[in-house]
Amino acid sequence: MDANLSQTQKMNPVTQHYRIMALDVTRGVAVLGILLMNIWSFGWPKEVFDYPPMLSHLGGAPLETWAFVYSFFEGSQRAIFSILFGAGSLMLLQRLEQKHSARDAGKLYRRRLMFLIMFGLIDAYIFMWPADILFVYGLCGFLLYFARHMKIRSLIILTLVIFTIPTIIRTVEYQQDMRLQSSTIAEDMAEWQSKLKKA
């Protein structure tokens, strides 16, 4: 604990006075939506979600489920959760700056982000979860801290840059996936099912 922070300046749980029910409920719904998106990875390789015909031999239900999840939950739940993360971070900063000096508020906020990054690293490298998002949220929290006082024009430019980078990455990944032949995907799927039976 930083010696410059007194006992009264430590982070405490958010009281009911500061909670906004609508945000909490929306966050809970988004978490459930993200679970629906990730639950495929618990039993199948991630290629299943991008190429559902490999499930066709199991009957109609898997394809119907994929169509429902892809139509109503893909992307939207992550977007909602990300917006809520940004809103919650700004509210946290405002609450801290009301109680403490700007310097101490910044220290408490950055410490919270470091814990988030630490949990993200544990999730990714100890629990081996490839879809960890906590680490990325922690990094984005630092970006939000320094960008919260930027002018609108600068924020728009920064937003365009942030949107462009993953768009390029996803486009390259898509082109690489398109080069895969259906036979190769089927062989990989058969190998994966064989490993599951032996496990």
Instruction: With respect to residue 104, please indicate whether it lies within any of the assigned structural domains.
Output: no
> pLDDT, tens digit, for every residue of 62-101?
777 778 888 888 888 888 888 999 999 999 999 999 999 9
Instruction: With respect to residue 154, please indicate whether it lies within any of the assigned structural domains.
Output: yes
Instruction: With respect to residue 180, please indicate whether it lies within any of the assigned structural domains.
Output: yes
Q: What is the pLDDT of residue 112?
A: 94
Domain enclosing residue 167, as ranges: 150-199
What is the three-state SS of the chain?
CCCCCCHHHCCCCCCHHHCCHHHHHHHHHHHHHHHHHHCHHHHCCCHHHHCHHHHHHHCHHHHHHHHHHHHHCCCHHHHHHHHHHHHHHHHHHHHHHHHCCHHHHHHHHHHHHHHHHHHHHHHHHCCCCCCCCHHHHHHHHHHHHHHCCCCHHHHHHHHHHHHHHHHHHHHHHHHHHHCCCHHHHHHHHHHHHHHHHHC
How sure is the predictor about 168, in pLDDT bands with cuts at 50, 70 and 90? very high
Residue 189 in tokens: 């799927």
Instruction: With respect to residue 171, please indicate whether it lies within any of the assigned structural domains.
Output: yes
pTM summary value: 0.68
Instruction: With respect to residue 159, please indicate whether it lies within any of the assigned structural domains.
Output: yes
Instruction: With respect to residue 12, please indicate whether it lies within any of the assigned structural domains.
Output: no
Instruction: With respect to residue 126, please indicate whether it lies within any of the assigned structural domains.
Output: no
> pLDDT, tens digit, for every residue of 74-85?
888 888 888 999
Instruction: With respect to residue 184, please indicate whether it lies within any of the assigned structural domains.
Output: yes
Of the candidate ranges 96-110, 142-156, 168-182, the one whose mean pLDDT is the lowest: 168-182
Query: Into how many domains does the chain fold?
Result: 1
